[in-house]
Structure 1
Amino acid sequence: IKLFNKRQVRYSVPEEMPHGSFVGDIVKDLGLEPKRLTTGKARIFTASGREYVELDRDKGHIIVKERMDRELLCSSAMSTCSISFEIILENPIQLYRVTVEILDVNDNSPAFPRGEIKLEISESASVGARFSVDSALDPDVGLNGIQSYSIHPTDHFSLKTQSRAGSGKNVELVLQSQLDREKEEHLYLTITATDGGNPKRSGTVKILIVVLDINDNAPIFKRDSYRISVPENTAHGALLLTVNATDADTVSNAHIAYNFEHTTAKIRDLFSIDASTGEIRLAGELDFEETTVHEFKIQAKDQGGLSDSAEVVIEVTDVNDNTPKITLMSFSNTLPENSPPGTVVAMINVQDSDSEENGKVACSIDRSLPFRTESSLNNYYSIVTDSSLDREQMAEYNITVTAKDGGRPPLSSTKTLSVKVSDINDHSPQFEHETYTAYVTENNSPSLSLLNVKANDADLGVNARISYFIIDKDLNGALTSSLVSIDAGSGMIYALKSFDYEHLKSFSVTVKAQDGGSPPLTSNATVNFIIQDQNDNAPQVLYPVQTGGSVVAEMVPRSADVGYLVSKVVAVDVDSGQNAWLSYKLQKATDRALFEVGAQNGEIRTVRQVTDKDAVKQKLTVVVEDNGQPSRSATVNINVAVADSFPEVLSEFTDFTHIKDYNDNLTFYLVLALAVVSFLFIVSIIAILSVKCYRWRRERMFYKSGVNLPVIPYYPPLYADVGGTGTLQHVYNYELCGTADSRKSDMKFVRSSSQSVLSVDLGGTRTVPRQNKHAVDPDVDVEMDPNRRDGDRGMGGRV
């Protein structure tokens, strides 16, 4: 049996079905795709935590997981018994409620509380008198419950059953004929209870009837039933109600005792009755969530054995004594900071065991957080983002979920969820300054560190890893990357060349900071480099112009007064600042008492009155010096003529020119001659020393190698010559090889086309003369043989 709507499905199955039994096809009934259960990680969620069914994802079936006993799951007073659970699907999250009704089967036989019932009945009991007996109990319901009672034998009693308030039936014995104690003191009966199942089940109880002596009045309760409502938090020992019965008899027959009639052990544990007063008190603890109604019977019995019974119904009313229970069903503990509003963070289930308003639960979270709660099904809440997240402002949130019921006073419970916000690359690097300025002294060394730029990124991890680059741009025909470079990791800027203030006074570069995100974000900063001047340029004299060909002279008349402006030295310095501040002073002059130079303006003026004794030709040397550290200077020569007429000046400076030319030429030739003589002297000394060293080395090598050579034998001059000259030639050409060992020394004469070669045996035994057409010299010339092997450790040569 199945009933379903869009999000709810209802099935009915008999109880006691074995494990694996089919309950329902959830895929077909919910209209889902067959693969949705697998891809959505479908699972069953029950609020109680105990699952009697399970989900077969592959087939899409709900099957029995654990045997279900309706009598254990539900009270016999309940007409229907069912279990409910939810099926949860993810990606996206979906919920479906499923209710399985458990149908009763006739698996329990009727059973009486006691195996034997003993009744004491007075013989004076009139025909039609009724005597209550224990009714049988059957946990099954409906037709499977108790349907009929029968009695055997039926000589004196018959059975009468009557439905009572709540559930079950009253079973009474009805006296059919007068009892006679003198004839029968004990009667034995059997009562059988039969249910309506198929097949039918039954249970029996033995009745022992003891016939008492006459007691013709039985106790009578003022009411047939008592009904009260008691809160479940009633204190232990509290008085619930007092039952009262009266008896018209007197003495012992009128003394009434109250007790429970055929009740269960659970009732006896919960309640107690005073046998004398009939006060019923609470002996245990009531729990509305466990049982809402307690029913039992009270018997009033006199001394003569006559009794009456009344039914007591105690209804337990609910109080707000259970806090809501929060169950986390799904939770994402990490969210990217670009999650859109409405992103589901968690799904929770809230249950309260109380009833009505006490069981109505409202769920909430702190409104200051960027999250809110949504409810799609009863008792189910989703926590979703309510606004945009920013990890740089808040990297982690603690969401406290508060569940509060509707009781008075309300009860609540909380659960804290920790949500971390993961970083995305949403912040570009930011330089500490938009513009940097660095001062660099010119003539710096290449690879000099100039400036360290720094950028910060509010992101995290690789998104905050910054690299630095220089953006190339044209600077007077050159790229900025040819001037400076930057360390991509540290942001340190280095010079690539030496700067010259006179050519480049300043320049700017654009530095780009780029993070490691995907895609990367960048920002730029401008770095201005100011080149600072050094005193690396000497002053340059612009006037007077120095020429080497003709003589330029300033003329001063003899009538010039003191302070007469003779000339002005004009100089410039390409440096800047104090390195370009120039000062002038007179270094030397023909007559230092006649002229002076202005230290600041370079003006040459007369110091005194010019006289006739002053020479016509005056030569001044002016030094121009800058103010740098160290200072640099330049000199200029100025010719001054003291005369009143131009011809006088011309004649004087013409001689001056010739003398100057002559002196210049003479000086040049003297210097040249001295240089030539010095060069020749040095060359001669070197040549002599080289020859001496060479000869000394040859002699040293000769003596060192010839210590073991034998003495060459003397050959008399009358030795015959093959050439017919009658004398031995005085020139001997031979090859000499000498070693430290005399036995290995060797000397042989080498023959040439124009000489006679004399071969000499070092042993001195023989000689071999040969022809020679030339005269000989008695001197001996030794020539080294470079082809001799090193292993001979000797010396070869010509003599």
Structure 2
Amino acid sequence: MVTKVCGWCVCNSFFWSLGDALIEVRYSVPEEMQRGSAIGNVARDLGIDVTELVRRNARVVAEGSRQFCELSTETGSLLVSERMDREELCVQSAPCVLQFQLLLENPLKVYSLLLDIQDINDNSPTFENGQIELELLESTDLGRRFPLESAHDPDIGANSVQHYQLSENEYFALEMYTQVDRNAYPELVLKKPLDRENQADHFLTLSGVDGGRPFRSGAASIHIHVLDANDNVPVFGQSVYKVSVQENSPRGTVLVKLNATDLDSGIYGEISYSFNHMPDKMRGVVEVDHVTGEVKVMVALDYEQASSHELDLQAKDGGGQSSHCKLIIDVIDVNDNSPVIVVKSTTSTVPEDASPGTMVALLHVYDLDTGTSGWVTCKISDDVPFKLVSEVKNYFMLVIDGVLDREKCPHYNITMTAVDAGTPPLFSSKTVAITITDVNDNPPIFRHSDYSIKFVENQPQGTLVIKVRAEDADEGQNARILYSLPEDAASHLSINAETGEIFTLRPFDYESSTHFHVQVMARDEGRPSFTSTCTVQIFIADQNDNAPVVLYPVQLDGYLAHDIVPRAAPADYLVTKVVVIDADAGYNAWLSYRIVKATQPNLFSIGLHCGEIRTLRPFAEGEEIKQTLIISVSDNGLESLSATATVNIIIEDGLPIIDELVAHDTDKLHGNSDLTLYLIMALAAMSSLFLVLIIGVVYMRLCRYRYMYRSTTNLPVFPPTYGPPGYSDVSCFNTLQKDDQYNSFLTTGSWKRDFRFGSDFVDLDMLNKRGTSLHVGGHSATRAKLLVPHKL
């Protein structure tokens, strides 16, 4: 039989209003079914596909501690898993109903299953005392009734005791007496006068027969002693005593005091109280004082085991006469049971990206008490991203109620507390451990967004440049980081993908490149993966790995240019200038000049840093016309590198002397005096600043038109191989031996050691790209600008 109930559901005094209809399936089954017997096909009755049972982890859960039945996920049938004895489960109560829940997960669905346990005739009637002793006076009146012990049958309904039978005899008959509780008791009725002298003892058999098919019966022997003169029986003040007592009442609590009277005197008036029938579960729980008739509690009563008890008592006088009464004990429930929390299903690990509302645990919460003592509330702490949701009676779902972040809290111990509404309230708690698993939701983060390092050139291949480090807040594979470089850096650098160490693939050359800008990417191995980048600035430091190179005079095998000087040249006359370059930079390109060998000593000098060769004294008659100087040029590196240049000087008569090639002390003094004057004027008054500026502008304009004239034999000659195409001599004396005409850009006074350049110029590609330093006019300059031709 399948029954569906919708609306309000009542269980253990809990009222649950369900948004959806609660389907309740009821089956009627006989007790004592064999284990494995089929009760019914739940899947078919509920319209559930059998294949869904395994996928959704379907199972049957009992309300109590014993299961009794189980679900076959293969057929969908509900099977008996444990012996069901109605008399053990429900005693005399009718009906006897067991409640179960059918649970399906993903999504959660609960169905209510009710098993109505039907009684079968599996117990025979029994008498408490198999031997009934009666003592009757021979003067007993005809029709006198003597109550007898009734038979007890644990079965109910038609399977319980239906009638009694008495063995055939001529003195006694059997009749039934119905009390106010509608229980029938057998009574022995005297139908023929007794004669002790004729027959002092009578032996009868009383049989109790139930209504089962087939019927069962039980018998008791009746031994009647015929006595003289006990013609009154004890009489109870009430045929039914009804008392109420709280469960867990202490030992010795008096439930009721029985009161029976007997009009006889002496031994025939002495009354003794006793139980006529005591159920097995009540043996030792209550006792009656044989003399006083007080019924006391000896073992605490438990409302949850039975809410009421019915006991039969008798009062018997000294002559064997007895009467009977019934004692009904109603047990009052008290709040003596704490709520029970049963975890039916739980997920120990939850991904941190799980969406709110995802169920992580299913709880069954109930209280065995009734009334307000059985009302239970369940809660968890407020500081966790979870909450309890109840959609089915007695069941709570623990669901996600916020955003999970493993990096902030990787583990939760959620304590659920259930409190009843009794006085005082009782509570219980259960802790569910949930571990948050990682998902790849954090990118790698470099410790620094920019790295700068100074790295010396010429380091061997495989030299460690720098180690970058990124960190990922995730764990496991999601936190495993691989490093990589862009393709444009792959020709110079390599990186250890796991450690972030950057190595050189070949030596760096400062003269080729002074700076590298590299983007390093860190990528985790999550799905999907995240990346981040950092910038590595590598500044190449120069080493003194380039020797000076002589540009002028040109040092070619079989050819050496000659510089001509007038024989009338005074002391400190500028003869020529040695032009040298060094591809290094800074101090490594700072050049020093000295004469290591000369045809005639003490005739010429060379500027230490400018390379200008001047006369030390006027030429004397008879001195050799051709003078050869060997010049050593050294750089300023830690391990100095050097080069040598050979200068040939021809002394020629008749050449004019150019005044501007002569250094005058008066000019120096004049310059110093002008500088002193400017300093005095600046310190004297700020108001003269404008005047100083005007004087400076005028002075610069005047210097603009000062040119130096030299003969073609006195100026340096640069071979075509030392200049770019179209590069030409600007001295107007054709020292570069080119036929094309160019605008001239001439130097100012050579003693001032600078050059005057025109507005049209371009970088010398070789020097600009290599970052070399050209030592010209006594100054070291990086990426020196050379003269650029301007064709007419």
Same fold (TM over 0.5): yes
Counterparts of 1:106 and 1:615, CA distance in 2: 157
How far off is 1:80 after superposition? 0.5
How far off is 1:612 after superposition? 6.0
Counterparts of 1:637 and 1:162, CA distance in 2: 154
Q: 1:41 to 1:201 in 2, by over 3 A?
A: same
Partner of 1:286: 301
Letter aligned with residue 562 of structure 2: V
Larger RCO (CA under 8 A, 6+ residues apart): 2
CA contact under 8 A between 2:563 and 2:650: conserved in structure 1?
no
How many residue pairs match? The answer is 641
Specify every segment of 5 or more residues in structure 1 that has no aligned partner in the other structure, as ranges: 474-479, 650-655, 658-799
In terms of Rg, which structure is larger?
A: 1
How far off is 1:134 after superposition? 1.0
Partner of 2:509: 500
Letter aligned with residue 7 of structure 1: I
Q: 1:12 to 1:315 in 2, by over 3 A?
A: same
Partner of 2:754: none
Q: What SS is found at the alignment partner of 1:139?
A: coil
Q: 1:70 aligns with which of 82, 86, 93?
A: 86
Q: What does 1:343-382 align with in structure 2 at a 5 Å threshold? A: 343-382=358-397
Q: 1:162 aligns with which of 178, 186, 192?
A: 178
Q: 1:647 to 1:368 in 2, by over 3 A?
A: closer
CA contact under 8 A between 1:113 and 1:264: conserved in structure 2?
no
Partner of 2:548: 539
Deviations 1:255-296 (A, max 9, x none): 333333344465441222222322222223422222222222
Letter aligned with residue 431 of structure 1: F
Deviates more, 1:269-278 or 1:123-132: 123-132
Counterparts of 1:96 and 1:500, CA distance in 2: 81
Q: 1:348 to 1:264 in 2, by over 3 A?
A: closer
Partner of 1:514: 523
Q: 1:601 to 1:186 in 2, by over 3 A?
A: same
Is 2:149 the partner of 1:138? no
How far off is 1:209 after superposition? 2.9
Q: What does 1:347-746 align with in structure 2 at a 5 Å threshold? A: 347-473=362-488, 480-540=489-549, 548=559, 550-555=561-566, 571-589=580-598, 593=602, 596-602=605-611, 610=618, 615=623, 621-636=630-645, 645-646=654-655
Q: What SS is found at the alignment partner of 1:315?
A: strand
Q: What SS is found at the alignment partner of 1:342?
A: coil
Is 2:21 the partner of 1:12? no
Partner of 1:25: 41
Counterparts of 1:63 and 1:106, CA distance in 2: 22
CA contact under 8 A between 1:556 and 1:640: conserved in structure 2?
no
Counterparts of 1:96 and 1:19, CA distance in 2: 23
Deviations 1:320-373 (A, max 9, x none): 333444433333323333322222323233344333344444444343333333
TM, length-normalised to structure 1: 0.71
Partner of 1:3: 3
Counterparts of 1:521 and 1:307, CA distance in 2: 96
CA contact under 8 A between 1:352 and 1:359: conserved in structure 2?
yes
Q: What does 1:90-101 align with in structure 2 at a 5 Å threshold? A: 90-101=105-116
Q: 1:55 to 1:363 in 2, by over 3 A?
A: same
CA contact under 8 A between 1:535 and 1:629: conserved in structure 2?
yes
Partner of 2:237: 222
Counterparts of 1:268 and 1:52, CA distance in 2: 27
Q: What SS is found at the alignment partner of 1:35?
A: helix
The RMSD of aligned alpha carbons is: 3.7
CA contact under 8 A between 1:156 and 1:178: conserved in structure 2?
no
CA contact under 8 A between 2:176 and 2:187: conserved in structure 1?
yes
Q: 1:392 to 1:434 in 2, by over 3 A?
A: same
TM, length-normalised to structure 2: 0.71
CA contact under 8 A between 1:513 and 1:523: conserved in structure 2?
yes
Q: 1:631 to 1:339 in 2, by over 3 A?
A: same
Counterparts of 1:73 and 1:89, CA distance in 2: 28
CA contact under 8 A between 1:122 and 1:306: conserved in structure 2?
no
CA contact under 8 A between 1:425 and 1:518: conserved in structure 2?
yes
Partner of 2:679: none
How far off is 1:100 after superposition? 1.6
CA contact under 8 A between 1:164 and 1:170: conserved in structure 2?
no
How far off is 1:75 after superposition? 1.2
Q: 1:198 to 1:154 in 2, by over 3 A?
A: farther
How far off is 1:102 after superposition? 1.6
Deviations 1:401-425 (A, max 9, x none): 4444443334444443333333333
How far off is 1:233 after superposition? 1.6
Partner of 1:732: none
Q: 1:126 to 1:615 in 2, by over 3 A?
A: farther
CA contact under 8 A between 1:558 and 1:612: conserved in structure 2?
no
How far off is 1:10 after superposition? 0.5
Deviations 1:679-720 (A, max 9, x none): xxxxxxxxxxxxxxxxxxxxxxxxxxxxxxxxxxxxxxxxxx
CA contact under 8 A between 1:555 and 1:566: conserved in structure 2?
no
Q: What SS is found at the alignment partner of 2:245?
A: strand
Q: What SS is found at the alignment partner of 1:118?
A: strand
Letter aligned with residue 512 of structure 1: M
CA contact under 8 A between 1:229 and 1:316: conserved in structure 2?
yes
Letter aligned with residue 536 of structure 1: D
Q: 1:457 to 1:550 in 2, by over 3 A?
A: closer
Specify every segment of 5 or more residues in structure 2 that has no aligned partner in the other structure, as ranges: 6-21, 659-712, 715-792
Partner of 1:103: 118
